[in-house]
A and B are shown apart, each in its own frame.
Chain A
C-alpha cells in the first residue's frame, strides 16, 4: 500500500504542471454552463441565499448567527456536491479539490450546531477588506466575466460555482469575529490559488 502510494506520487511528480491540465478552456466553460443548466431555475435563489446569510450574520441573536453559519455551510456543500461532481468527469484531482469546500463546510456546520455561528462585526480588523472581497465574489467577479465575453449561460454564481463561493467565503470570514478564523480561510484561499493556476494554464495552452 505504502509502496503503491510512493509510486503513484513518483508518477505524478514526473509531470510538469502544464502536463496535468487534462481539459481545454472550452470544456471547462461548458462545465459551468452545464452546472447552471442542471440547477435551473434554482440559481435565482443564489442572491436570496447570500442576502439572507448576510442579514442573519449581522443580527444580534445567536440563533441568527448559527443559521448564517448553516447557510454558508450549505453553499460550500452545494459547490462540493454539484460542481465537483461534474468536474470529476474531466479531472482526476476533483475529489481531492472538493475537500477544500467540504472541510470549511463541516467546520461551519459544527459552528452552526454547537458553536457561536457566523457573526459579522464592523469592529473586526479586516472588515473593509472582507466587504471588498464579498462584493468582488458576488458581483464584480460574475460581471467582469460577462463583460469579458462569458455567456450568461456560463455565469458563475455564489453557491453553485467554486470561484465566487470561495471569494465570498473569504470575505465573510474576514468580516466575522470567529476565533482563529485564519485557519478556516486556508481552504478557500487554496482554491483561489488552484483556480488562478488552472486559468493561467488554460489561457496559456
Chain B
C-alpha cells in the first residue's frame, strides 16, 4: 500500500497540492499567488501534446557552454550542470549554432553520469534542407545520448524541409517532440503561421519581464493550439539581471515569497499559464542556485506580475 494512505492530514494536503502543481494548475493562497509554498516539490508544467510534466526552469547554453576544450572551464560547466540536475532541473537546451556547447554538455553528462531527469533539447541549424538527420545524429553523438527529447528548427532556418524530416523522425520514435524557435523578437508573424499550420509540440521565443511582446499573440496562440512554450532570454542575455541587481529587491517582492531578483524574474515568466519552461543560461554555480530557487515556492499572481514588470521597466 502506498505510504501516503497512512499519512497525516497535513501530508495528504501537501501531496494533493503537489499534484496540482505538477499538473500546472493554479492553487490560490492568501496574499499573493497561484501556487502556495507547500513543500519542496519542483514546479512542473505539462507538455500539452503528451501530458508529460517537465520542470518549469530549464537551462540554456548559449555563450555560457561555448568554452571549447578548456579543461578548467569544462570542469566549471560540469558543476553548473550537476547543480542544475541536483536541484530538479530537466530541460537543457542547446544548438549546433552554439559553437562547442553541445560537446561541452556531452563532456559534462559523461562526467556526471546521470541521465534520468534530463530532457535533452537541441536544434537543427543548417540551410541544407537535406542535412536534418545528419545534424541530429551529430548532435546526439556530441551529447552522448541515444535520442533527443526535443528537436527544434533553429530560428526558422529552412524550416519547411527540416520540420518534414523531424516529423518523420518523431513518427519513427527517433525523437519525442518537435519544435521551432526564434529569439530577439524576430519573424513572429512567420512563427505564428507555423504554429497555426504545423503539428509542432514546442515553440521557443524570447519572453521576460522586460520583453512582454510574446503575451500579445504568441502565448495566447500557444495556449489555443496546445503547444508548449519555452521562454528564452529570460534575463535578456544577462543585461536585465545585471541591471536590476544594481537595485535592492523591493520589500513587496520579498513579501510575496520571491527570494532574489533571479527568482522574481523567472517566476514572472513561468507564472504565465501558457509558459512551459524558462531557460536561463549561466556559467556560475551560485547563479544556477539562484535560478533554481524559482523552481520552488510561490508564484506571483497577475497583479504582482504587472507590478513587477512596471517596476523593472523603471529601473
Residues of chain A touching chain B, judged by Cβ–Cβ distance below 8 Å, are 4, 7-8, 10-11, 14, 16, 19, 21-24, 26-27, 30-31, 34, 86, 89-92, 205
Contact = CB atoms under 8 A, between A and B. Distances in A.
B99 A4 contact: no
A21 B99 contact: no
B66 A8 contact: no
Nearest to A24: B63
Contacts of B72: 30
Contacts of A27: 66-68, 70, 73
Interface string B58-76: 0000111011111011000
Given A89-B100, A92-B99, A34 B70 contact: yes
A91 B128 CA distance: 20
A102 B97 CA distance: 26
B283 A24 contact: yes
Interface in B141-178: 155, 157-158
Interface of B: 62-64, 66-70, 72-73, 97-100, 127-128, 155, 157-158, 184, 186, 237-239, 283
Contacts of B63: 21-24, 205
B127 A205 contact: no
A16 B66 CA distance: 19
Contacts of A31: 68, 70
Given A4-B127, A23-B63, A14 B186 contact: yes
A84 to B, nearest CB: 12
Nearest to B70: A30
Contacts, number: 56
A11 B157 contact: yes
Contacts of A86: 68
A22 B238 contact: no
Contacts of A11: 127, 155, 157
Contact of A89 (B68, B155, B239): B68
A95 to B, nearest CB: 13
16 contacts: A7-B127, A7-B158, A10-B127, A19-B184, A22-B99, A23-B66, A23-B99, A27-B66, A27-B70, A30-B70, A31-B68, A34-B70, A89-B68, A90-B67, A90-B68, A205-B63
B184 A24 contact: no
A90 B69 CA distance: 9
A18 to B, nearest CB: 8
Contacts of B127: 4, 7-8, 10-11
A15 to B, nearest CB: 8
A24 B99 contact: no
Contacts of B283: 24, 26
Contacts of B184: 16, 19
Given A4-B127, A24-B64, A92-B99, 19 more contacts: A10-B127, A11-B127, A11-B155, A11-B157, A14-B186, A22-B63, A22-B99, A23-B63, A24-B63, A27-B66, A27-B70, A30-B67, A31-B68, A34-B70, A90-B66, A90-B99, A90-B100, A205-B63, A205-B237
